[in-house]
Amino acid sequence: MAEHEHYEAIVVGCGPGGATAAATLARNGVETLVLERGVEAGSKNVSGGVIYAEDSAPYTIDDLFPDFREEAAERPITHNYIHNIAGEKVKTFDLTEIHEHDTEWADAVLRRRMDSWLETRVHEMTREAGGGVLTGVRANGLYRENGEIVGVTTDELEPITGDLIVAADGVNSELARDAGLMDWESPDEWFQGVKAIVDMPDGAIEERFDITEEQGETHLFSGDLYEGVRGGGFLYTNEDTLSIGNVFHLDSIVEERAEVVDLLDALLTHPLLAQWIGDDYEELEYSAKLVPDSKKVAHPSPTEDRLVLVGDAAGQMQAQGPLIKGMNHAATAGALVGEAFAVARSRGDTASAGERYVSRLYDEGVMAKIRPAVYDRSRAVTEHRRVSALTDGLIDTAIGRAGLDTMIRTGIVERLYNSPRMMQILPDTTTPYATLPTAIAKRHGERIEEESAVEPPTLEERIGELTYDTDIGNPHIVVEDESWEASGAAVTACPVSAKDFGGGCYREEVRSNGYEERVVSFDSQPCVECGTCAIVADTRWEHPRGGKGVEFKQG
Partner 1 sequence: MHTVVLTKGVPDFREGQVSFDEDGHLERGKTPTVMNPNDKHALRAALQTKVRNGGQLSLMSMGPPGYGDVLGEGMETVYADDLYLVSDRELAASDTWATAITLATALEKVGEPDLVFAGFKTADGETGHTGPQTCWCLDWPIITHVIALDVDEDSRTVRAKRLVEGDIEEVETVEAPMPACIIADPEFTPSYRQASHRLTHKDLRAETEARAQDHEAHMTTWDHEDLNLDPDYIGLDGSPTIVSSVDPIPKAPAEREATMVEANDEEGMNEVLDAMTPFAAETSGAAGD
Ligand X SMILES: Cc1cc2nc3c(=O)[nH]c(=O)nc-3n(C[C@H](O)[C@H](O)[C@H](O)COP(=O)(O)OP(=O)(O)OC[C@H]3O[C@@H](n4cnc5c(N)ncnc54)[C@H](O)[C@@H]3O)c2cc1C
Closest CA to 103 of 69, 146, 56: 56
Residue 75 binding result from ligand X, partner 1, ligand SF4, none, given CB thresholds of 5 to 8 Å by partner type: none
| Cβ at position 468, least distance to ligand SF4 in Å | 12
Q: Could you check whether the bond before residue 49 is cis, i.e. omega within 30 degrees of 0?
A: yes
Q: How far apart are CA 245 and CA 195, in angstroms?
A: 4
Contacting ligand X (CB under 6 A), which of 149, 179, 247, 272? 247
| Cβ at position 494, least distance to ligand SF4 in Å | 3
Q: Does 325 bind ligand X (CB under 6 A)?
A: yes
Pick the stretch among 16-24, 59-67, 124-132, 409-417 that binds partner 1 (CB under 8 A). 124-132
Contacting ligand X (CB under 6 A), which of 198, 317, 493, 496? 317
| Cβ at position 118, least distance to partner 1 in Å | 16
Q: Does 13 bind partner 1 (CB under 8 A)?
A: no
Q: How far apart are CA 219 and CA 213, in angstroms?
A: 17
Contacting ligand X (CB under 6 A), which of 324, 336, 423, 519? 324
- Give me the helices (H) in 107-222, please: 111-128, 174-178, 204-209
Q: Does 75 bind ligand X (CB under 6 A)?
A: no
Q: How far apart are CA 368 and CA 349, in angstroms?
A: 28
Q: Does 131 bind ligand X (CB under 6 A)?
A: no
Residues 224, 226, 232, 238: what is their CA dihedral angle, to the nearest 10 degrees? Answer: -110
| Cβ at position 490, least distance to ligand SF4 in Å | 6
Q: Does 19 bind partner 1 (CB under 8 A)?
A: no
Can you spell out the DSSP letters for 59-114? --HHHHSTTHHHHT--EE--EEEEEEEETTEEEEEE-HHHHHTTEEEEEE--HHHH
Q: Does 123 bind ligand X (CB under 6 A)?
A: no
Q: Does 326 bind ligand X (CB under 6 A)?
A: yes
Closest CA to 12 of 30, 29, 37: 37
Site string for ligand X, 169-198 (x = CB under 6 A): xxx--x------------------x-x---
Question: Which residues are near ligand SF4 by CB under 6 A?
Answer: 477, 490, 494-496, 505, 527-533
Phi-psi region of 313 (alpha: psi -120 to 50; beta: other; left: phi over 0): alpha
Touching ligand X, residues 138-167 (CB under 6 A): 138-139
The 3-class SS string of 359-379 reads HHHHHCCHHHHHCCHHHHHHH
Pick the stretch among 36-44, 84-92, 391-399, 502-510 that binds ligand X (CB under 6 A). 36-44
Whether the Cβ atoms of residue 111 and residue 465 lie closer than 8 Å to each other: no
Q: How far apart are CA 450 and CA 372, in angstroms?
A: 42
Whether the Cβ atoms of residue 91 and residue 438 lie closer than 8 Å to each other: no
Q: Which residues pair with 151 in a beta bridge?
A: 143, 161
Contacting ligand X (CB under 6 A), which of 168, 266, 436, 550? 168
Q: Which residues of 348-380 are buried (b: 16+ CB within 10 A; e: fewer)?
A: eebebbbebbbebbeebebbebbbbeebeeeee
Residue 193 binding result from partner 1, ligand SF4, ligand X, none, given CB thresholds of 5 to 8 Å by partner type: ligand X
173 vs 218, beta carbon nearer ligand SF4: 173
Residues that bind ligand X (CB under 6 A): 12-18, 35-38, 41, 44-51, 138-139, 168-171, 174, 193, 195, 245, 247, 289, 291, 311-313, 317, 324-328, 330, 543
Residues that bind partner 1 (CB under 8 A): 5, 7, 33, 35, 123, 127, 131-132, 134, 137, 156-158, 160
